Structure 1
Amino acid sequence: MRILVTGANGFVGSALIPILASRGHRIRASVRRPGVTPVPDTVVTGEIGSDTDWSRALDGIDIVIHLAARVHQMDDPADPDLVIGAYRRINVEGTRRLAESAAAAGVRRMVFVSTIKAVTENSSDTPVTEETPPAPETPYGISKLEGEQALEAVGARTGLETVVLRPPLVYGPGVGANFLRLLTICRNALPLPLGAIHNRRSLVFVENLAGAIACCAEHPAAAGGRFLVHDGKPLSTPELIRSLAAIMDRPARLFSVPPVLLRGALTVIGRGDAYDRLAASLELDDRHLRRTLGWQPFWSQEDGLRLTAEWFNASADLTNGTS
């Protein structure tokens, strides 16, 4: 099949394209700006929005996999209206425009890679499923849920097959943002007051996510579906830190602070959100994906963490000029 991948040179796209190629698909990449192109057939579309011209990118395409998105920005403006507007321009209006253009071009299916944040930021005592009522809390999560709804509305109106995939935190070689900071902390063996945390968080290795995306693009039973995906084994934050530190041959310097005191201290300094990311549970149940599409993760979580930590160690050694 001819598949268009938006955001193709990003973290997930870089893992997805080789998997699609290995399965015999012909790939066209959509990127925001000129530069390194992941495949010879690459179209520069600029920042996507309500007026993006997708005609060249969609010519002859059977399936669209939509990865391009505005993700959480550390420098988001303080005005909440400006923040949500910036997310909606790309994640909602941009998605709607692409879906409408795809339907008009005769595309059969569009796979939208969303996020579990479109549903919730935590799972309390019950794992999140596809039946959990969405209650997003952040501009990013709100905009991704609205993007899902915009896509499905276009599908209902035009007959375009739609598939929504909601991953949790994605990790792997090349990862950035918070997971990269965690790798740095583990390599430097910095002490952390997280020893008393007993949460459960689902993760997904980027190669496993890429395999699930390919499955959603190919499987007939995926049409019209919403699916969760993860590696299959939730970890507590201390377990994750200990695993990464052990792979890096570093001590995990964890000490215990009562969670209520830790939350209070972080809230006082304006970092209450950091406590939620580190201490809250966000456990997924992805049996719907596994039963409906027959998907199984190719990589174990242990191997995924090992490959990620080894990549980070090698990158750090190269930067520091060591071996």
Structure 2
Amino acid sequence: MSIIITGASGFVGQNLIKYLQEKGKTVYPLSLRDSKWINELPKEADALIHLAGKAHDTSNTSQEIEYFQVNRDLTIAIFEEFLKSEIRDFFYFSSVKAVADTTDGILVEDVNAKPFTPYGKSKLEAEQYILNKELPAGKRIFIIRPCMIHGPGNKGNLNLLYKIVEKGMPWPLASFENQRSFLSIDNLSFMVNSILDKRDIASGVYNFADDVPLSTNELIELIASVLKKKVKLWNVSKGLISTIVKVGDVLPLPLNSDRLKKLTESYVVSNAKIKRELGIQHLPISTQAGLKITIESFKQANS
């Protein structure tokens, strides 16, 4: 089976390529950095997995048009080439943020989309274009909406939490009660590979998430258990935290409004649809086991 992957040099791309190759598949990385990709795109393959995109910029320094040029316009261009080719399947890696920046309940695929950021809006417009096109017979399209992806080598908020616990610092946001979904890179790769192998899975939108959400406090406890450190959870008043993040929005402090939201908001994503299509009750790796793998990688990198 031959697979074309854009965004192959990124965290997801590198791990997915390795996983698919271990499953006996042939992978062709495709760079989209200049217009030559149109001539370099193979016209025949079993699947095209479009990972390349502009990620959400937490420093808020990116121009809004950049998101639409990359996440929408480039996706439309490569999707049009897919429609003209003999490639069978098209995977577009969107995001749960394409439909909901916040959620009070459990996020499912048919939610009424209300993205607030240029990142989410650009992803949604690409989704809408793909879903509104007539699909030639024999082809399938999959809109993949992953939640927060993690794994060895991936930085971000998990690494920030790791450093707090590693240094023996207290976690000052324990007063924020939340539940969050995570997605291990191994479960992501398993689901993509399973879709490729099962021809009876229908085209459509699929959330990708691990089976069980965790609170940030539970995540802190998990990190502490891996590091064999004492858990230090401090219930600092939310009012004081709000004052600190306002300063962080102006000065380069470790905590600002965007980071506070990511660390403390509830964001639970349902993976029931994809599991139903795959005919499974549980993903191969539990939420806790996947997070332990990621945490252990931080530990090894810092040893």
Considering the TM-score relative to the shorter chain, is it more than 0.5? Answer: yes
User: For residues 76 and 69 of structure 1, do their structure 2 counterparts lie closer, same or farther at Cα, with a shift above 3 Å needed?
Assistant: same
Q: How does 1:166-181 map onto structure 2 within 5 Å?
A: 166-181=145-160
Q: Which moved more, 1:106-115 or 1:55-64?
A: 55-64
Q: Residues 95 and 150 of structure 1 are in contact (CA less than 8 Å); yes or no, is this contact kept in structure 2? A: no
What is the aligned partner in structure 2 of residue 281 from structure 1?
A: 266
SS at 2:86 equivalent: coil
**Aligned positions of 1:179-218 closer than 5 A:** 179-218=158-197
Q: Which residue of 1 aligns with 2:99?
A: 119
> Quick one: structure 1 residues 260 and 234, their matched pair in 2 at CA, closer, same or farther if it must change by over 3 Å?
farther
TM, length-normalised to structure 1: 0.84
Whole-angstrom distance in 2 between the partners of 1:122 and 1:76: 18
Normalised TM-score (structure 2): 0.90
2:252 is matched with none
Deviation digits for residues 32-68 of structure 1 (CA, Å, limit 9, x no counterpart): xxxxxxxxxxxxx425xxx563232323322101111
| Corresponding residue number in structure 1 for 2:76 | 96
SS of match in other structure, 2:41? helix
Deviates more, 1:285-294 or 1:54-63: 54-63
Give the CA deviation at 1:224: 2.1
The 1:272–1:64 alpha-carbon spacing in structure 2 relative to 1, beyond 3 Å, is: same
CA separation in 2, counterparts of 1:267 and 1:221? 51
Name the CA shift for 1:260/1:284 in 2 (closer, same or farther; >3 Å). Answer: farther
Is 1:23 aligned with 2:9? no
2:44 is matched with 60
Is the counterpart of residue 229 in structure 1 residue 208 in structure 2?
Answer: yes
Partner-residue secondary structure (3-state), 1:12:
helix
Residue in 2 aligned with 1:38?
Answer: none
SS of the residue corresponding to residue 54 of structure 1 reads helix
State the one-letter code of the partner of 1:233.
Answer: V
Q: Distance in 1 between matches of 2:98 and 2:126?
A: 9
- Following superposition, the deviation at residue 189 of structure 1 comes to 2.3
Secondary structure in 1 matching 2:49: strand
Distance apart, 1:141 and its partner CA? 1.4
Aligned to 1:151: 130
Distance 1:279 1:26 in 2: 41
Unaligned runs of 5+ in 1: 32-44, 318-323
8 A contact 2:58–2:258 mirrored in 1: no
2:6–2:50 contact (8 Å) kept in structure 1: yes
Please report how far the alpha carbon of residue 75 of structure 1 lies from its aligned counterpart in structure 2 after TM superposition: 4.9
Partner Cα separation in structure 1 for residue 144 and residue 194 of structure 2? 11
Deviation at 1:108, TM superposition (A): 1.4
For 1:58 and 1:5, the matched residues in 2 are separated by: 11
Question: Match of 2:242, SS?
Answer: helix
Measure the CA separation in 1 of the matches of 2:167 and 2:56.
26
Give the corresponding residue for 1:4: 4
1:308 aligns with 2:294: yes
Query: How large is the RMSD of aligned CA atoms in angstroms?
Result: 2.0
Give, in angstroms, the shift of residue 219 of structure 1. Answer: 2.6
Report the Cα distance in structure 1 between the residues aligned to 2:117 and 2:8, rounded to whole angstroms.
Answer: 25
Give the deviation of 1:204 after TM superposition. 0.7
Is contact 1:70–1:87 with CA below 8 Å preserved after alignment? Answer: yes
Q: 2:57 aligns with which of 55, 58, 73?
A: 73
Report the 3-state secondary structure (helix = DSSP H, G, I; strand = E; otherwise coil) of the residue aligned with 2:29: strand
Q: CA deviation at 1:158?
A: 4.7
Distance change (3 Å), C-alpha of 1:252 and 1:52: farther
Letter in 1 for 2:172: P
**1:245 corresponding residue in structure 2:** 224
Equivalence map 1:160-171=2 (5 Å): 160-171=139-150
Tell me what 1:258 maps to: 237
For structure 2, the 5+ residue unaligned runs are: 250-255
Determine the C-alpha separation between the residues in 2 that align with 1:186 and 1:57: 46
Q: What is the percentage of aligned positions where both structures have the same residue?
A: 28
- SS of the residue corresponding to residue 229 of structure 2 reads coil
- Identify the match of residue 294 of structure 1 among 272, 275, 279: 279
Residues 281 and 221 of structure 1: CA distance in aligned 2, closer, same or farther (over 3 Å) = farther
Tell me the equivalent position of 2:33.
46
